[in-house]
């Protein structure tokens, strides 16, 4: 399905540009083990991600945010992840070539993620610094996705507007974020959620490999 011409593309990070699941699982389980809680499987962590690390640990820890060790566990996770977030993480196949081509075609590119801001900026700098100029993650002073705040902030930094931008992501949170920001949504099936979940959120354009993004944008 072809869609009208845009000049700005905002990407989700985890499950869209980077396969971060193994490193997230390892840091979750480091924190769980540190406080004597049961470890979580890769598939469990897959379902937990998407709403920020606070929610990730809330879902991973017994009793959730009511657990008296919740805040300490969250800090332990963040400290461990900050030092180990590139052990197994890598761009999905075809991502680098697609970003290079998009940049060559003159698109403005940004990343907006619910991962904590310092990690988002570090990962984008290290993996995609040649292509992506603006990266925003979760922080205390800006509401996280699916609120539109981080997307609108990124658009302002790029000098763009919602009607000229698309949001590319792999999850129901991304679909809701695009809707709340008045951006066209493009769903991807190689990430952490299924095609069915994206369709349930009303996604009209769904791609199965990064290179397809080039054709649906032109």
With residue 187 as reference, give the H or E element that holds it. strand 184-188
Q: What does 70-88 look like in DSSP terms, one character per residue?
A: HHHHHHHHHHHHHHHTTSS
What is the 3-class SS of 84-151, one letter each residue? HCCCCCEECCCHHHHHHHHHHCCCEEEEEEEEEHHHHHHHHHHHHCCCCCEEEEEECCECCCCCCHHH
CB 207, CB 184: distance < 8 Å: no
5, with CB counted inside 10 A (0-12, 13-18, 19+), is exposed
Instruction: Indicate which residue of 7, 12, 19, 23 is catalytic.
Output: 12
Told to judge if 19 belongs to the known catalytic residues of this protein, a careful annotator would answer no
Interatomic CA distance for residues 19 and 21, integer angstroms = 6
Residue closest to 120 by CA, chosen among 103, 101, 134 = 134
Angle, in degrees to the nearest 10, between helices 21-34 and 53-60: 50
Give the tokens for residue 179: 């809707």
Tell me which residues are annotated as active site.
Answer: 12
């Amino acid at each position: 399905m072809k869609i009208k011409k845009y000049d700005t593309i905002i990407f989700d990070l985890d499950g869209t540009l980077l396969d971060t699941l193994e490193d997230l699982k390892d840091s979750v389980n480091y924190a769980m083990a540190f406080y004597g809680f049961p470890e979580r499987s890769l598939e469990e962590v897959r379902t937990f991600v998407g709403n920020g690390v606070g929610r990730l640990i809330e879902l991973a820890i017994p009793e959730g945010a009511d657990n008296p060790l919740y805040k300490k566990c969250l800090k332990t996770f963040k400290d461990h992840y900050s030092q180990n977030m590139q052990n197994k993480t890598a761009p999905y196949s075809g991502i680098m070539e697609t970003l290079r081509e998009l940049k060559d075609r003159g698109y403005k590119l940004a990343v907006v993620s619910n991962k904590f801001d310092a990690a988002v900026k570090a990962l984008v700098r290290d993996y995609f610094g040649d292509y992506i100029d603006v990266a925003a993650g979760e922080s205390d002073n800006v509401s996280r996705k699916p609120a539109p705040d981080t997307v609108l902030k990124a658009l302002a930094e790029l000098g763009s507007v919602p009607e000229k931008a698309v949001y590319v992501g792999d999850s129901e949170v991304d679909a809701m974020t695009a809707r709340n920001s008045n951006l066209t949504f493009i769903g991807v099936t190689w990430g952490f959620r299924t095609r069915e979940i994206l369709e349930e959120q009303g996604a009209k354009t769904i791609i199965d490999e990064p290179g397809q993004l080039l054709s649906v944008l032109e």
